[in-house]
Structure 1
Amino acid sequence: MIPDNDETIEDLQLDGLQLIQKKNAFRFGMDSVLLAHFANIRESDTVADFGTGNGVLLFLLKGRKKGKRYYAFEIQEEAAELAERNVRLNRLEDSMTVIHADARDALEYIQPCSVDTVICNPPYGQPGAVLASPSESKSIARNQKEDTLDHMLKGAFSILKGRGKFILVYPASQMFSIMTKLRSHHLEPKVFQLAYPYIHKPANLVLIEAVKDARPTLHTRPPLIIYNQDGSLTNELKSVYHIQEQTEF
């Protein structure tokens, strides 16, 4: 497949998978890689990705043999078309379906209580708290409307099996608020892990696994330290991020 002039094809170095990306649209970063590594997903699971963008998160899961059947929800038409092209590029039409729709309408496309895991790298920007991006696709990918998360969580609850998982990455500074919102949608936070850019710097990402209708018991995984003092990746990160070392955190 030949990319357009404004596109690149990245070799994910995972089971031969490749990814078409737009040069001037939102491009995946370390948060997607960390989320794919953090996610505890069985090889036989059905997985839905809310806000899939170009589909990178599902390809990272596929390359790690996490999941068997995948649904990629994307509300932006251009991004959904790109995700569909990436599915065809990797010949995954039999296992991966791109759905151009809002996550809140998930029940229109998937049977209720039929998905093992919903995974999400949601928009981080709080309403009115970040500058608008000159690129519409970047702005939508980075910013959330007042009800964006509520729509995602409502949609996730409707399609998740009993004890199904909702897994996401979010700014560490907003950990309390996102856990509170998860609980309000009957998705109980069960496991979390903080990611630190340097050992002497505050955490800037939190990875969370919530379980549908679970009892409240919260466990923590050891912290992830991304960079050594000299700016090189730590040995732990090399084991999960060894092929994307040039991506900024």
Structure 2
Amino acid sequence: MEVQLKETERIDDLQLKGLKLIQDTNGFCFGIDAVLLANFAKVKKGAKVVDLGTGTGIVPILIAGKSQASKILGVEIQEEVYEMATRSVKLNDLEERVEIVNSDIKEIDKILEVNGYHVVTSNPPYMHIDGIKNPNDKKAISRHELKCNLEDVIRAASRLTMPRGKFFMIHRPIRLVDILTLGRKYNMEPKQIQFIHPRAGKAPNLVLVEFMKDGRPELKILDPLYVYGEDGNYTEELKAIYANEDIGEK
């Protein structure tokens, strides 16, 4: 389906089943963290999925392309970004499976079904609000905890996830203690952690965490993932993630 672009927008090819994404060159564009999160999420056939703080809609669109989920919702508070993500859904003819919701995640349980989703995902703002000069800037809202903080995200995920359902999140390792502590506070038991390193010999700069609602205490640390090899190119593991077209559980 053809959609109309604004002056500062472009269409990017996601290199997956012909899927495309509208992005604003003046706004926050998706990065490797969204791709890693969409790959990390385990989504069974027929699952109902919610992505909190969806931004451009990249995670719902990737999950739609890589899984057989029946319904995928993306929640975005910024109206202009929500509208752009909605056009990306139309661009890919995914209206029957993907829907973008313009809402504050702090109020999301008044709109979406409590305990109604098999999988929740989130690539939330990583940074504190210290030193923000323009709190209405789209990039600042995407990167800093201006509209929601870490506890808001985990609380919302707990409210939406059905018992034994999964919550998948990507964040910074420096927040890991907060992430795990808040998870348990809201009955989200951490089950798997994977650290993402820029390259071998460098400290991790991202961490993927899988939670289970009302799960038993048992945590597995997965092998680390390295983004770049010694030659400066993506490692074979990362190339495999970009090439992987199926994240579903049969």
- TM-score norm. by structure 1 comes to 0.91
User: Contact 2:106–2:148 (CA<8 Å) still a contact in 1?
Assistant: no
1:7 maps to what in 2? Answer: 9
Q: Which structure 1 segments of 5+ residues have no match?
A: 244-249
User: Contact 1:192–1:208 (CA<8 Å) still a contact in 2?
Assistant: yes
1:36 maps to what in 2? Answer: 38
Distance 2:167 2:40 in 1: 12
Deviation for aligned residue 1:138: 0.3
Distance 1:127 1:134 in 2: 9
CA deviation map 1:158-189 (0-9, x unaligned):
22111111110011222122111111111111
Question: Identity over aligned residues, as a percent?
Answer: 36
Deviation for aligned residue 1:108: 2.2
2:248 maps to what in 1? Answer: none
CA RMSD after TM alignment? 1.9
2:247 maps to what in 1? Answer: none
2:212 maps to what in 1? Answer: 211
User: Contact 1:41–1:67 (CA<8 Å) still a contact in 2?
Assistant: yes
More displaced 10-residue stretch of structure 1: 14-23 or 36-45: 36-45
Distance 1:72 1:197, change over 3 A: same
* 2:64 aligned to which of 62, 65, 70: 62
Distance 1:11 1:84 in 2: 17
User: Contact 1:103–1:151 (CA<8 Å) still a contact in 2?
Assistant: yes
Deviation for aligned residue 1:146: 8.9
Deviation for aligned residue 1:107: 2.1
User: Aligned partner of 2:179: which letter?
Assistant: I
User: Aligned partner of 2:161: which letter?
Assistant: L
2:221 maps to what in 1? Answer: 220
Distance 2:100 2:234 in 1: 34
Distance 1:49 1:80 in 2: 13
Q: Where does 1:69-148 land on structure 2 (aligned, <5 Å)?
A: 69-128=71-130, 132=133, 136-145=137-146, 148=149
CA deviation map 1:59-115 (0-9, x unaligned):
111111152211111000111111111111111111111111011222222222110
| Aligned residue-pair number | 242
Distance 1:66 1:28 in 2: 23
1:25 maps to what in 2? Answer: 27
Deviation for aligned residue 1:242: 5.2
1:156 maps to what in 2? Answer: 157
Distance 1:146 1:52, change over 3 A: closer
More displaced 10-residue stretch of structure 1: 1-10 or 18-27: 1-10
Name the SS of the counterpart of 1:32 in structure 2.
helix
Distance 1:134 1:25, change over 3 A: farther
Give the ranges of 4+ consecutive aligned residues of structure 1 lying more than 4 Å apart after TM superposition.
130-135
Determine which structure has greater relative contact order: mean sequence separation of CA pairs < 8 Å that are 6+ residues apart, divided by chain length.
Answer: 2
1:247 maps to what in 2? Answer: none
CA deviation map 1:110-142 (0-9, x unaligned):
2221100110000000232x6556970000000
User: Aligned partner of 2:223: which letter?
Assistant: P
- TM-score norm. by structure 2 comes to 0.91
Distance 1:145 1:65 in 2: 32
Distance 1:90 1:235, change over 3 A: same
CA deviation map 1:182-228 (0-9, x unaligned):
11111111111001001010011100001111121101111101111
